[in-house]
Chains A and B, each alone.
Chain A
Amino acid sequence: MSALRILLVDDSSAQRHMIRHRLDQAGGLEVVGEAANGREALYQFAALKPDVVLLDLVMPEMSGDEVLDALLEMDPKANVVIVSSMGTGEAIEHCLQNGARSFLQKPFDTDDLVRTLGSLEGQGVS
């Protein structure tokens, strides 16, 4: 089975660095691109066609909510996992209802990350 191709979207370079490092360690998962804001994310998504987008919720210019809507407009089957420290019940429910496949709250460990991505593979994402 080919590696799951992932696009990281987060305005924090440290956060992107951390997730990339953890995915490299886990194996079977390939980071194909990084974006520091919503516009870059949309461009990279169109160009790279990743299997999964890991999307931060709080970003300058375009919020994660807005990026989620735009991604799903570009591809209604886009697999988006929200990654955020803003874990209110309302935020989680809102994102899941708006089409996000899952929600990962910071801080998380490698097991949480791999388990979340694994559950997407179980749902036929590849």
Chain B
Amino acid sequence: MNTKLFGQFLLEKGYVSREQLLEALEEQRRSTATLGDLAIATGMLAVADVDAIHRRQEEAGEPFSAAAVGLGLLTEQQIAELLHPNSAEKLLLGQILLSFGHLDQSRLDEALAAHTRRGDENETTLMRHFRGSDLSEVGPTCVSVMTSVFRETIGAPVSYNAIPAVKAVSVGQPVWAQEVTRGLERFTVALQLSDADAFVVAESVLGMPVEGFPELARDAVSEFLNIVVGHICGNLNAKAGTVTATPPAIHTPQSFAHDATAGIAVHCTSDEVEFTYIVARPLIAAAPVGHWAVCAQTGHPARARVGQRA
């Protein structure tokens, strides 16, 4: 998943001009693409397949997706890909730019390939951890954005896995956190890393050495989390409603109160750095005794002994 919207990507990489993008975005707002249109645009279906699905819809009174799966023309995973708001936006915008003559097919194919980063199986596995929890809707978006921004910013090969949020907070390591609100929903996105790893992240963000400037390094990590949360807000916003976020705040592990029973931590590792993202519900009051655990020693939570908070 590339977190940047396709239109922004096209403008930034010089595929289209500001005027061409504005014209296409205005047209996109007026247009609505059906699932069948999108499936044809991606090459998943031929026009004859869509006709067959429509016939079955009429006969059986089924929705498009059920009819397509029933006929064996699309899988549930393909339907999910087509329904993802970013996919729909990308495909529709591409078709509009083609029809206006602002891009030819080969340039569009090149742009689509450059914009699309295949989410790997690990990412899909991470998302399963949210199933059944009350973060099941926002969680997968958070994981996609976190891992994508991590790859784009840190640059080095990375791996990541999920650990329970309850085990994520290490003694002695600061926690950067922002609260995200969408309608009545509220959740926290947090980032924990050691002072040494904070310097690595800061240098990746700033593109220059920051040794000896701890305040600048902390500010750069705040900006890094702000970028992650900005992309989460942008991606959630594309689905529904206004999404807002508080500015980043730095907590001690003891003052970071979150409902770990509904959270997940994503542990990211590269050759250079390792850190943990936490997505969880914030607690209004302080966590009750024993409600969440902290690691009993410094070092990464995945390797540290986990104990109960006293």
Contact B205 A112, beta carbon cutoff 8 Å: no
Q: What string of 1s and 0s marks CB contacts (under 8 Å) between A1-41 and chain B?
A: 00000000000111101100110000000000000000000
Cβ-based interface call for A103 (8 A): yes
What is the distance, in angstroms, from B4's C-beta to the closest C-beta of chain A? 5
A93: min CB distance to chain B, Å: 5
Closest to A59 in B: B247
Partner of B8 from the list A21, A105, A107 (CB cut-off 8 Å) is A105
A113–B17 alpha-carbon span in the complex (Å): 15
Cβ < 8 Å to A, chain B residues 1-38: 3-5, 7-8, 11-14, 17-18, 21-22, 25-26, 28-29
B22 with A93: CB separation less than 8 A = yes
Say whether chain A's binding surface is mostly helix, strand, loop, or mixed.
helix
Q: A88-B237, A105-B4 are in contact. Are A96 and B219 (CB under 8 A)?
A: no
Q: Is A61 an interface residue (CB 8 A)?
A: no
Q: B219 and A87: CB pair below 8 A?
A: no
A115 near B12 with CB under 8 A, answer yes
Determine which of B18, B25, B149, B205 lies in contact with A18 in the assembled complex, contact meaning CB atoms within 8 Å. Answer: B205
Which residues of A, 76-126, contact B by the 8 Å Cβ criterion? 84-93, 96-97, 101-108, 110, 112, 115-116, 119
Q: Which residue of A lies closest to B215 (CB)?
A: A13
Known: A13-B219, A89-B238. A96 touches B18 (CB 8 A): yes
- Chain A positions within 8 Å of B5 at CB level: 87-89, 92, 105
Given A107-B227, A112-B12: A14 touches B89 (CB 8 Å cut-off)? no
Please tell me if the beta carbons of A87 and B4 are within 8 angstroms of each other in the complex. Answer: yes
Size of interface on A: residues with Cβ below 8 Å to B: 35
The CA-CA distance from A118 to B244 in the complex, in Å, is 33
A32 to B4, CA, bound (A): 29
Instruction: Report A17 CB to chain B, min CB distance, Å.
Output: 6
| A102 touching B219, Cβ below 8 Å | no
Contact pick for A115, options B8, B14, B153, B237, CB 8 Å: B14
Within 8 A of A (CB), among B205-252: 205-208, 216, 219-220, 222-223, 226-231, 233-234, 237-238, 247
Given contacts A86-B233, A106-B230, contact A22 B238 (CB under 8 A): no
Contacts of A13 in B (CB 8 A): 216, 219
Report whether B230 and A85 are in contact in the complex, using a CB–CB cutoff of 8 Å.
yes
Determine how close the nearest CB of chain B comes to the CB of A11; give it in whole angstroms: 8
Chain A residues lying within 8 Å of B205, measured Cβ to Cβ, are 14, 18, 107
Instruction: Name which of A90, A96, A105, A112 has the most chain B CB atoms within 10 A of its CB.
Output: A105
Residues of B whose CB lies within 8 Å of any CB of A are 3-5, 7-8, 11-14, 17-18, 21-22, 25-26, 28-29, 89, 149, 152-153, 202, 205-208, 216, 219-220, 222-223, 226-231, 233-234, 237-238, 247
**11 extra interchain contacts, Cβ-Cβ under 8 A, other than A88-B237, A119-B17?**
A18-B205, A21-B206, A60-B247, A85-B229, A87-B8, A88-B238, A89-B7, A96-B21, A105-B5, A115-B14, A116-B12
